[in-house]
Chains A and B, each alone.
Chain A
């Protein structure tokens, strides 16, 4: 009862001091794209991003009611720092949506002023006119007000005055360590901040470079730690961290982790393992039958409808790609056909005048003009794809979505395509997941396989590329595209690390090119510049800075690559 009364009281009292207009609330998420473009265009810095800010402690005097309600301690804030503009996650201070939107715009214009290279024109004037409109609207609501309730402030943790606050708002005096106190916002804060790429990468050691500490792939898995509710998981993480510090103990732990699962639980092998060669750059020769590649079907794959979150994009992409289906086309210079080909007929007459008698090829006929292209998409399913790209999805989720949208798009055209995934555990266990063969239809079963493929193990790229090359080579098409989707360098438990792996991959790609294939790589590793040009050539790869965009971008990229 007490609790119930308390809740009702809390609801009433906080509501009575809440000045927001919920029906006119504008969320940052709906404005993010627009604001991002405005920010980047006006500041002249293409790398700037819009982020969500956390609330900061307020120094403004609180009304009696606010004191009673215990609200008003914190206010939403906006500030600009070196690589982002931080804006509140929603604005509802005006009763009209238009004005709340304009508030966002004004803050963005203001935020792009700093360090702007194109600022010479109108930015100031524009921000002033926005400001005037907003201020007069605000005054009509709050006649006593002199300033807008929201303005850019110096970034928290920094001494004030790093940002020229162009308006006379009283900058909150101090934020040195204004840790928000309420539990809900604390949680928020933790989620919103950038993940540090420091020690949290520890977990990856056991997975990616156990026997070679030379190349350390920092993959953040911090989000695992965030969820304090999940005590079991926290404990598990703790466990790992402790043992990781103790080399001996950690190796035991690691061994357990990386053993191949019992055959009963493992993916279903298809046929015998395929022996494949590998290039040893130190000996400068191809070691024949060095690797064994096992084609596998993911276990537990069930026919699956198109996931709901992809339906809209899939529909859009399908329509776009349907328009690109092969058209019927007139072919000239045929021996037989529906119409006379005037050009060829004239040529024929001329030739005859010159005394040359040929078979008359003087007809034209309408035929389907196919694009004679086969594409094999090879996706990296190594353990590193198990890391997180955002609060809700891992790399592997993005890869799966990308595979599905890619398949949706391509099945709308009539290009032949196949989907495979790969990972590896030493040279004897290169796992090659057969998601869709060239001869298979793309259907619910294929989607099920894509969703059931689990990330694990390492990235022995060379072997996977060699097998993909064999598959593509058997295709009758004229043009063959090998698309590789990855999140990092080649690596494996043994010497397949660093230069060895790169050299082998490079050799595998050269072999593919010699066989008339066009390899192309799509990566989300922002260090790819260091090694991919050497493997794929300067124009043979592309880096997607935002992994989340991969599902949408991949079909577009395909269209671009194949000249659609």
Chain B
């Protein structure tokens, strides 16, 4: 599993911090906009530390049972099946809960005893209480940009984590990332990043979302694969950002300035 280490370009001290947190058994919270590399960072760190990684993409129907596990039916009887969190606790793996605020409220109940110094996971259905191995690590992420009154990370939960803020990388770094991910030449990568930064200025005023590094990588991949640049930008950079056709046309005018 840890054979291929996914590429990750460090922006600050996040790698070192993560290593320290891992050594001292501290849970980590990653926050940042969508598509800026949070998931990639965790994959990279898991490979670097040589631990298996269990990633759970949280959604609004994800319950505690989905994390902890449930009974399954077998040959005339039932047996217990560990959920991803339980498996990580038993194996001393890294468990990564992506967009944790999306999950149902009952999940916080199991996260609390795991994220403080008790590091235990009580499994109600089997009556077991697991003590996490020293290598177990809990990592959660969320996007604070979505302003939702009814959902949001409770301060009492947030305070249990060491927090790391992510943002889109600086232009030179981002260009390097795009080039590395897609094998496009540096000039095109720089051009795409400049375009993305032009579009990011529009956030909140004209657009609700910023162009993410992920979208840039998609665009570069299409271009690298021989797709025409303008059409690639439209498909992978402009259309994903807005549904309003007038805004799309306006953004395309901006794109044309960069790819005339």
> Which residues of A pack against B, CB within 8 Å?
33-38, 40-42, 44-46, 105, 109, 118, 120-123, 125-126, 129, 342-343, 346-347, 349-350, 353, 373, 479, 481, 518, 520, 539, 542, 560-563
A-B contact pairs, 19 of them (CB 8 A): A37-B206, A37-B250, A41-B202, A46-B201, A46-B203, A120-B194, A121-B258, A122-B260, A125-B260, A126-B256, A346-B72, A347-B71, A349-B71, A350-B78, A539-B147, A562-B149, A562-B150, A563-B150, A563-B151
B133 shortest CB reach to chain A, Å: 27
The prevalent SS among residues of A at the interface is helix
CB <8 Å contact, B150 and A518: yes
CB contact under 8 A between A41 and B194, given known A129-B260, A346-B78, A347-B125: no
Does any Cβ of A come within 8 Å of B228's Cβ? no
| Among all A-B residue pairs, the 9 with the closest Cβ atoms | A37-B250, A34-B250, A126-B257, A41-B198, A41-B254, A350-B78, A121-B194, A563-B148, A561-B149
**Which of B150, B201, B257 contacts A44 (CB under 8 A)?**
B201
Nearest residue in B to A128 (C-beta to C-beta)? B260
A82 shortest CB reach to chain B, Å: 17
Does any Cβ of A come within 8 Å of B199's Cβ? yes
State in angstroms the CA–CA spacing of A341 and B240 once bound together: 38
**Which of B78, B125, B206, B259 contacts A36 (CB under 8 A)?**
B206
CB <8 Å contact, B201 and A40: yes
Q: Mark B73-87, 1 if CB is under 8 A from A, else 0.
A: 100011000000000
State in angstroms the CA–CA spacing of A45 and B201 once bound together: 7
Does any Cβ of A come within 8 Å of B160's Cβ? no
B175 shortest CB reach to chain A, Å: 12
CB contact under 8 A between A122 and B149, given known A40-B206, A41-B251, A349-B78: no
- Which residues of chain B have C-beta atoms less than 8 A from A349's C-beta? 71, 73, 77-78
CB <8 Å contact, B198 and A561: no
Nearest residue in A to B65 (C-beta to C-beta)? A343
- Which residues of chain A have C-beta atoms less than 8 A from B246's C-beta? 33-34
CB <8 Å contact, A118 and B194: yes
- Which residues of chain A have C-beta atoms less than 8 A from B172's C-beta? none
**Which of B151, B204, B257 contacts A122 (CB under 8 A)?**
B257
CB <8 Å contact, A118 and B198: yes
Does any Cβ of A come within 8 Å of B224's Cβ? no
**Which of A42, A45, A561 contacts B150 (CB under 8 A)?**
A561
State in angstroms the CA–CA spacing of A33 and B251 once bound together: 10
State in angstroms the CA–CA spacing of A34 and B257 once bound together: 14
- Which residues of chain B have C-beta atoms less than 8 A from A342's C-beta? 73
- Which residues of chain B have C-beta atoms less than 8 A from A518's C-beta? 149-150
Does any Cβ of A come within 8 Å of B249's Cβ? yes
- Which residues of chain B have C-beta atoms less than 8 A from A563's C-beta? 148, 150-151
Q: Mark B184-197, 1 if CB is under 8 A from A, else 0.
A: 00000011001101
Interchain Cβ contacts within 8 Å, total number: 110
Does any Cβ of A come within 8 Å of B205's Cβ? yes
State in angstroms the CA–CA spacing of A211 and B206 once bound together: 42
**Which of A34, A44, A353 contacts B249 (CB under 8 A)?**
A34
| Extra inter-chain contacts (13) besides given A126-B260, A562-B149, CB under 8 Å | A34-B249, A34-B250, A36-B206, A37-B251, A38-B250, A44-B197, A44-B201, A120-B194, A122-B260, A346-B72, A347-B125, A539-B147, A560-B148
Nearest residue in B to A560 (C-beta to C-beta)? B147
CB <8 Å contact, B257 and A481: no
State in angstroms the CA–CA spacing of A208 and B70 once bound together: 64
CB <8 Å contact, B198 and A44: yes
In chain B, positions 100-149 with a C-beta closer than 8 Å to chain A are 125, 146-149
B53 shortest CB reach to chain A, Å: 27
CB <8 Å contact, B250 and A561: no
Nearest residue in B to A37 (C-beta to C-beta)? B250
Q: Mark B25-55, 1 if CB is under 8 A from A, else 0.
A: 0000000000000000000000000000000
Does any Cβ of A come within 8 Å of B253's Cβ? yes
CB <8 Å contact, A41 and B201: yes
Does any Cβ of A come within 8 Å of B247's Cβ? yes
CB <8 Å contact, A42 and B254: yes
CB <8 Å contact, A562 and B125: no
B255 shortest CB reach to chain A, Å: 9
Nearest residue in B to A124 (C-beta to C-beta)? B257
B189 shortest CB reach to chain A, Å: 12
- Which residues of chain A have C-beta atoms less than 8 A from B204's C-beta? 46
Nearest residue in B to A121 (C-beta to C-beta)? B194
Q: Mark B86-103, 1 if CB is under 8 A from A, else 0.
A: 000000000000000000
Nearest residue in A to B246 (C-beta to C-beta)? A33
- Which residues of chain B have C-beta atoms less than 8 A from A38's C-beta? 250, 253-254, 257
- Which residues of chain A have C-beta atoms less than 8 A from B65's C-beta? 343
State in angstroms the CA–CA spacing of A520 and B194 once bound together: 37
State in angstroms the CA–CA spacing of A10 and B73 once bound together: 94
B38 shortest CB reach to chain A, Å: 21
State in angstroms the CA–CA spacing of A342 and B146 once bound together: 36
- Which residues of chain B have C-beta atoms less than 8 A from A118's C-beta? 194, 197-198, 201
CB <8 Å contact, B260 and A40: no
A513 shortest CB reach to chain B, Å: 12
CB <8 Å contact, B205 and A122: no
B241 shortest CB reach to chain A, Å: 11
State in angstroms the CA–CA spacing of A520 and B250 once bound together: 33
- Which residues of chain B have C-beta atoms less than 8 A from A109's C-beta? 257
- Which residues of chain B have C-beta atoms less than 8 A from A539's C-beta? 147, 152
- Which residues of chain A have C-beta atoms less than 8 A from B198's C-beta? 41-42, 44, 118
CB <8 Å contact, A479 and B150: yes
A325 shortest CB reach to chain B, Å: 17
Q: Mark B145-188, 1 if CB is under 8 A from A, else 0.
A: 01111111000000000000000000000000000000000000
**Which of B70, B249, B257 contacts A343 (CB under 8 A)?**
B70
CB <8 Å contact, B71 and A350: yes
State in angstroms the CA–CA spacing of A154 and B5 once bound together: 56
- Which residues of chain A have C-beta atoms less than 8 A from B254's C-beta? 37-38, 41-42
Most buried by A among B65, B201, B202, B206: B201
Most buried by A among B65, B146, B197: B197
State in angstroms the CA–CA spacing of A40 and B203 once bound together: 10
- Which residues of chain A have C-beta atoms less than 8 A from B202's C-beta? 37, 40-41, 46
A104 shortest CB reach to chain B, Å: 10
Nearest residue in B to A478 (C-beta to C-beta)? B150
A517 shortest CB reach to chain B, Å: 10
Most buried by A among B147, B149, B190, B191: B149
- Which residues of chain A have C-beta atoms less than 8 A from B191's C-beta? 121-122
- Which residues of chain B have C-beta atoms less than 8 A from A562's C-beta? 148-150
Nearest residue in B to A352 (C-beta to C-beta)? B78
CB <8 Å contact, A105 and B253: yes
- Which residues of chain A have C-beta atoms less than 8 A from B206's C-beta? 36-37, 40
- Which residues of chain B have C-beta atoms less than 8 A from A350's C-beta? 71, 78, 125
- Which residues of chain A have C-beta atoms less than 8 A from B152's C-beta? 539
CB <8 Å contact, A33 and B247: yes
